[in-house]
Amino acid sequence: MKMTKLALVCATVFGVAAGAHAGGDRHHHGHGMDVVPADQKNNAYWQQGVEALKEKYPALRGAKNVILFVGDGMGVSTVTAARILEGQLKGMLGEENDLSFDTFPYTAMMKTYNVDAQTPDSAGTMTAMMSGVKTDVGVIGVDEDIVRGDCATVAGNELITALELAEIAGKSTGVLSTARITHATPAATYAKSADRNWEDISDQPASAQGECEDIASQLVNFESNLKARFPRASKVNGIEVVMGGGRRHFLPKDAAFNSPDAVSAVEGDRTDGRDLTAEWKAAYPNGVYVYDQVGFDSIDPATTERVFGLFNESHMQYEADRANDIAGEPSLSEMTDKAIDILDNNRKGFFLMVESGRIDHGHHAGNAHAALTDTIEFAKAVKVAVENTNPKDTLILVTADHSHVFTIAGYPKRGNPILGKVVSVGSDTPALAADGMPYTTVGYMNGMGFADLGDETDADAIYSGTPNAGRQDLTGVDTTAPGYHQETLVPLGSETHAGEDVVLYGKGMGSHLVGGTNEQSYVFHVMNAAGRLEKAAARGMR
């Protein structure tokens, strides 16, 4: 029996009210506190989140601004290794270093499983964080009653997100990602989809085309779609700041629509002939559409009302590539700085989600260098947010959606290069395993395995062919080079996610709600309670 069907029983056990109009029409909105669908409030994960809040602190003075940082795939071992690498890049031994969010006063552990999966994906985990309700693998913004890939099951199973509540409340909103802006994590802030892969119409089966709106179209039509669901939400005016990759999902499959920096003969993927960038510009004539560093740098936050930035056909470059000036793209910290400067023009405050999406991709490629350097840039973006907001009116949360099968092992001495071979205490030469070969401190449980690509910084530029698993003789290999891909045990075409808990870090107004071990859906409830999002949204519909 699904969790939604157990909700009323669980509500009784928890001693929590089932929510407004329980059992009634879940799409009846606009009266009092009835902003969140009854089924969403009746869901057992929602009930658990409410009860967890009651056990911690019963009341809060509301945070004006809420910022959620998501390091995609940033498990505990990734945080530890990135902390050490950043310290060593500063000339320190490394272990004593702190990433910006390591110093946050409150932390908690979050259970990442999906309703139907022990080891999760980003669609289900981010939906949980944004809605307060856990759901299945591969679906976005909908509850577990959905059937993945079945367009007809979306209606009636939509969830409202923290970003949507902020919109209804009249706050400014923003979504940033180094991945495609239509990818699972950013999409879960604004879209409802039976499949995370339906990024544009060309990705959908014929049965869904024209029946279920693709994710890119939902982003451009976000304002009208939200107003259609909540006709009395007069303060909704669309997402003010959207920046990331994924330009191909917004352009027709026609070379005539290529951006000036297009790297392929036909940049767009859309088979419906729509140019969504033109549709966005028509809907928001005072907005600014940009696609490169020059355009980004020209934005004046003091006078800019909204920004739509698509800086790459697909995902944005890894930080290691961007730092080599080959991409012409802003960094995550630059995007964060600009977004806050624009969003804080609203006296009612803002909600901002910032994702470092390529941490995840570096790990999938089995390339620790890419994953860790992107984590370091992610920490810089958090630092920018801390420096540009007031903790007395802003809640900042930092977490991951899931972890990876990435580990730190062996017995290296203090200060040993975290990407290097293990050198034991009291020695100056690499330690040898029982097979007589040296081994590295960090490695992966599964994936493509060993590759030595030297100074190649693009983690995706891996060797072709079958996975290269098992032990390799690394005697003459520089394992600290950007192009080194770590050894792996189990041969797979791509390294996988892991299922252990991730950490939630909190700072600022309401961050004292962060603590203990929680369902991942609790992240929403912290944001909702600290920012009084649901209450403010209810006022926005009067």
Q: Answer for the pair 287, 306: CB distance below 8 angstroms, yes or no.
A: yes
Strand ranges for 448-537 from DSSP E? 451-452, 484-485, 488-491, 497-498, 502-508, 517-519
Got the DSSP string for 4-56?
A: GGGHHHHHHHHT----TTTTS-TT---STTTTS-HHHHHSHHHHHHHHHHHHH
Question: In terms of Cα–Cα distance, which of 293, 422, 316 is closest to 362?
Answer: 316
Q: Answer for the pair 507, 105: CB distance below 8 angstroms, yes or no.
A: yes
Q: Answer for the pair 229, 219: CB distance below 8 angstroms, yes or no.
A: no
Q: Which residue among the candidates 122, 177, 259, 521 is catalytic per the annotation?
A: 122
Question: In terms of Cα–Cα distance, which of 200, 211, 188 is closest to 142?
Answer: 188
Q: What is the spatial distance between Cα 238 and Cα 217, in angstroms, rounded to a whole number?
A: 13
Q: What is the spatial distance between Cα 169 and Cα 249, in angstroms, rounded to a whole number?
A: 30
Distance between start and end Cα atoms, the chain: 37
Q: How far from 444 is each of 158, 379, 429, 537, CA to CA, in Å?
A: 37, 23, 23, 45
Q: What is the spatial distance between Cα 410 and Cα 69, in angstroms, rounded to a whole number?
A: 31
Q: Is 464 labeled as catalytic in the residue annotation?
A: no
* One-letter amino acid of 494: S
- As annotated, the active-site residues are 122
